[in-house]
Amino acid sequence: MLTIDAHLDLSMNALEWNRDLREPVAAIREREKGMTDKTDRGKNTVSLPELRKADMGLVVATQIARYVAPDNPLPGWHSPEQAWAQTQGQLAWYKAMEEQGEMIMVKDLRSLELQIAIWNDGSPNEGKPIGYILSLEGADSIVTLNHLERAYEYGLRALGPAHYGPGRYANGTDATGKMKQNGLDLLKEMERLNIILDATHLCDDAFWQALDNFNGSVWASHNNCRSIVDHNRQFSDDMIKALIERDAVIGAAFDAWMIVPNWIRRQSDPVSMKCNMERLADHIDHICQIAGNCNHIGIGTDLDGGYGREQSPYDIDTIVDVQRLPEILEKRGYSKEDVEKFRSGNWLRIIRNTWKKQ
């Protein structure tokens, strides 16, 4: 059964982590044995073969490149032009995977329905291309609004204006403050181009401002609940209600510190913190209780998003194990129809409704 993951940093893993994602996860781990340059070396969970085993024939795959001003301690590029160039390298990797038959871009209703048909035809998944919808996490690399139109032309279909810290167009996680005029202009151009607004990572000020100034489709590709883990990266109940009113979908994120409270980065471990998919299901259930239905939840794992097994639910070895989450929901009383909405139906609803306007 087709499953959609609405947030995977595939090109970042390929280029910055130097992982050949055509290889099985086990092979990548073996090659990374003894490496210490990144905390998650040898602990990866995602590759293209594993996506096929997980029935994830459609993903939202990112480009990501942050601009950092001289006083910004976060890692990133020292000019928007460098950040743009990084995203173009990431695009080149996706295109290289297309040339190898490993992936295929999904950017309109025709390519969407074709990909769904391929993955629901009952034949084995081996050899089927992974469909990807291109998303940009953080808008810093959009040098000018003309660059946004160029990005749309090469396939960009979703955009989160902010990531961590202060951004050129909007402030993100751990930052505060409303958008300046260029951020509002970005929203207007996104609306004209029919690009989906990803509300993930927007700081509270920018979140509310964005919803007030953007009339297009909205989703949150990978976000959890502030009432369970109290941090500005999470959504408050009021924010969840506002997204529900916009018919948005919120993807459950698998980053451990977002699932259980009191996680200490680089110190806590999933087992001692009792972080498993049952705890993640608490976030999913909370959103459903606010909505009064199951129409606004989905999967947005963010697995291998700068972390690995050391910061994932302990019952996740590879992304294939995400397939056990629907069973957890069924045991909580969710119907098969509800679970199908969670797997793919809700994401497909918002994608189809958006692309009907193209």
Average pLDDT for the chain:
97
**Which amino acid, 241?**
K
Q: Evaluate if residue 358 carries a pLDDT over 80.
A: no
Tokens 């998003």 belong to residue: 305
Q: Which of 307, 255, 297, 8 is nearest to 130 (CA)?
A: 8
Length of the chain: 358
Q: What percent of the chain has pLDDT over 90?
A: 99
Could you report the per-residue pLDDT of 196-253, keeping only the tens digit for each?
999 999 999 999 999 999 999 999 999 999 999 999 999 999 999 999 999 999 999 9
pLDDT level of residue 1 (50, 70, 90 thresholds): confident
DSSP-derived pairing of the beta strands 103-105 and 130-137: parallel
CATH of the domain at 173: 3.20.20.140
**Which residues make beta-bridge pairs with 298?**
251
pLDDT, average across residues 39-68? 98
Could you report the per-residue pLDDT of 291-331, keeping only the tens digit for each?
999 999 999 999 999 999 999 999 999 999 999 999 999 99
Q: Which of 298, 348, 215 is nearest to 356 (CA)?
A: 348
pLDDT at 163: 98
Number of domains in the chain: 1
pLDDT at 101: 98
Tokens 């969710």 belong to residue: 334
* Encoded tokens for 105: 């871009």
pLDDT at 122: 93
Show the domain range for 146.
4-355
Q: What percent of the chain has pLDDT over 70?
A: 100
Q: Evaluate if residue 357 carries a pLDDT over 90.
A: no
pLDDT at 23: 98
Could you report the per-residue pLDDT of 81-112, keeping only the tens digit for each?
999 999 999 999 999 999 999 999 999 999 99
pLDDT at 307: 98
Could you report the per-residue pLDDT of 334-355, keeping only the tens digit for each?
999 999 999 999 999 999 999 9
Distance CA 238, CA 234 (A): 11
Query: pTM for the full model?
Result: 0.97
pLDDT at 36: 96
Distance CA 339, CA 79 (A): 44
Distance CA 22, CA 50 (A): 9
